[in-house]
């Protein structure tokens, strides 16, 4: 008899198996998030908001109240909820395009205002849902559908350093980290700390998760993991950038 995989209690079993591509990182990030919701016992207080892009597939992922928004607009919708209902735990879930391109003004300003919400941003170096175009996070030289000869940083700039930017503009009390699906135990700790930051009401919380998109990267399992662990981390340093009550830059 095959062992059933452990699903977080807060996952909605009726909507599983989920609809992400084989090898996609979203399922892992959402599992880490689900486990954190379980551990903190906040399932009945969570309002989960998902962006457009692959993240939209998470609209019925949890047994929590959930709002699918527009591309880039999850941060203001969840800000709107939190401001009206401060007792809710508001989680904005998005990709790198939604957070760093079309919705960057919302991310920057929510961080500046120190909104008491949690943003989880999945960085897979490209726009997955639309077929693998260049994202703000595509690596230098990386081939995508809109950079078929490789990303030329002279023309398109360097990959966006999201957590570094958020850490720079948030006041003390915020939580900022970059995790990776290559280290789920660490990613789970980061998401838990982010949610605790919101629960404690000390500030904005932001976790970027380095993730994988084998469908658009056109990589096999080995190369996919290699890209996440070795290539992405050259530009995106994994670790905590800001922790409430701790000196920065530890």
Partner 1 sequence: MVDKPIKGEKRYFVTGNEVVAWAALAAGAEIMYGYPITPQNEVMHYWTRLAPKYNRKFLQTEDEISAGFATCGGVLSGARAFTATAGPGNTLMQESMSMAEMMKIPTVVVVQQRGGPSTATVIYSQQEVTMTCFGANGEGLRVVYSTGSHQELYDYTIKAFNTAWKYRIPTFVLGDGYQAKMRESLVMYDPEERGIKMVPTEKIVGKEGMPGVEREPSHLRNTYNTEDELYDVVEKLVRDFWQAAPEIVEHQEFDCQDAEIIVVAHGVVTRAAQAAVKELRAQGKKIGHFRPVTLRPFPREAMKKAIANAKELIVVESAEGQLDKIVKAEIYGCSKPITGYFKPGVGITAEEIVEFINKRG
Q: For 154-194, list the strands marked E by DSSP.
A: 175-180
**Cα 220 to Cα 214: distance, rounded to the nearest angstrom:** 7
What tokens were used for 23?
């090898």
79 is an interface residue for partner 1 by CB under 8 A: yes
Q: What is the 3-state secondary structure (H, E, C) of 22-63?
A: CCCCHHHHHHHHHHHHHHHCCCCCEEEEECCCHHHHHCCCEC
- Cβ within 8 Å of residue 208, ≥6 positions away: 121, 122, 123, 162, 163, 177, 178, 179, 236
Choices 77-85, 150-158, 212-220, 240-248 (CB under 8 A): range interacting with partner 1: 77-85
Task: State the Rg of the chain over Cα.
Answer: 17
62 is an interface residue for partner 1 by CB under 8 A: yes
Nearer to partner 1, 58 or 137 (CB): 58
**DSSP β-bridge partners for residue 11:** 62
Least Cα distance to 46 among 91, 112, 101 occurs for 91
Q: How far is the CB of 84 from partner 1 (least distance, A)?
A: 4
Nearer to partner 1, 31 or 82 (CB): 82
Q: How far is the CB of 73 from partner 1 (least distance, A)?
A: 5
Choices 24-32, 81-89, 173-181, 213-221 (CB under 8 A): range interacting with partner 1: 81-89
Nearer to partner 1, 32 or 52 (CB): 52
Q: How far is the CB of 46 from partner 1 (least distance, A)?
A: 9
CB atoms within 10 A of CB 86: 10
Residues 105-124 that bind partner 1 (CB under 8 A): 105-106, 108-109
Considering only 7, 18, 43, 101, the residue that binds partner 1 (CB under 8 A) is 43
Burial class (CB in 10 A: 0-12, 13-18, 19+), 34: buried
| DSSP string over 78-95 | HHHHHHH-TTSEEEEEEE
Q: How far is the CB of 109 from partner 1 (least distance, A)?
A: 4
Nearer to partner 1, 75 or 126 (CB): 75
Nearer to partner 1, 118 or 144 (CB): 118
Nearer to partner 1, 64 or 161 (CB): 64
Q: Summarize as ranges the residues that interact with partner 1 (CB under 8 A).
A: 10, 12, 43-45, 47, 49, 52, 56, 59-60, 62-70, 73, 75-85, 88, 105-106, 108-109
């Amino acid at each position: 008899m095959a062992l059933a995989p452990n699903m977080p209690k807060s996952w909605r079993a009726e909507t599983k198996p989920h609809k992400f591509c084989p090898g996609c990182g979203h399922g892992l990030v959402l599992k880490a998030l689900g486990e954190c919701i379980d551990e903190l016992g906040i399932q009945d207080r969570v309002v989960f908001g998902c962006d457009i892009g692959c993240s939209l597939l998470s609209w019925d992922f949890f047994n929590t109240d959930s709002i699918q928004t527009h591309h880039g607009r999850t941060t203001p919708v969840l800000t709107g909820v939190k401001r009206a209902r401060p007792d809710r735990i508001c989680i904005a879930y998005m990709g790198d395009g939604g957070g760093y391109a079309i919705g960057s003004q919302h991310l920057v300003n929510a961080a500046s205002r120190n909104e008491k919400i949690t943003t989880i941003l999945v960085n897979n170096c490209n726009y997955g849902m639309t077929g693998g175009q260049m994202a703000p996070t595509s690596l230098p030289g990386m081939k995508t559908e809109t950079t078929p000869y490789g990303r030329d940083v002279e023309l398109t700039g360097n990959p966006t350093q999201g957590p570094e930017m958020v850490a720079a503009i948030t006041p003390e009390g915020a939580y900022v980290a970059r995790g990776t699906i290559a280290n789920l135990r660490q990613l789970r700790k980061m998401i838990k700390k982010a949610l605790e930051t919101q629960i404690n009401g000390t500030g904005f919380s932001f976790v970027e998760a380095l993730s994988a998109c084998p469908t658009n990267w056109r990589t096999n399992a080995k190369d996919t993991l290699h890209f996440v662990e070795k290539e992405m981390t050259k530009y995106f340093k994994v670790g905590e950038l800001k922790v409430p009550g701790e000196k920065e830059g530890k």
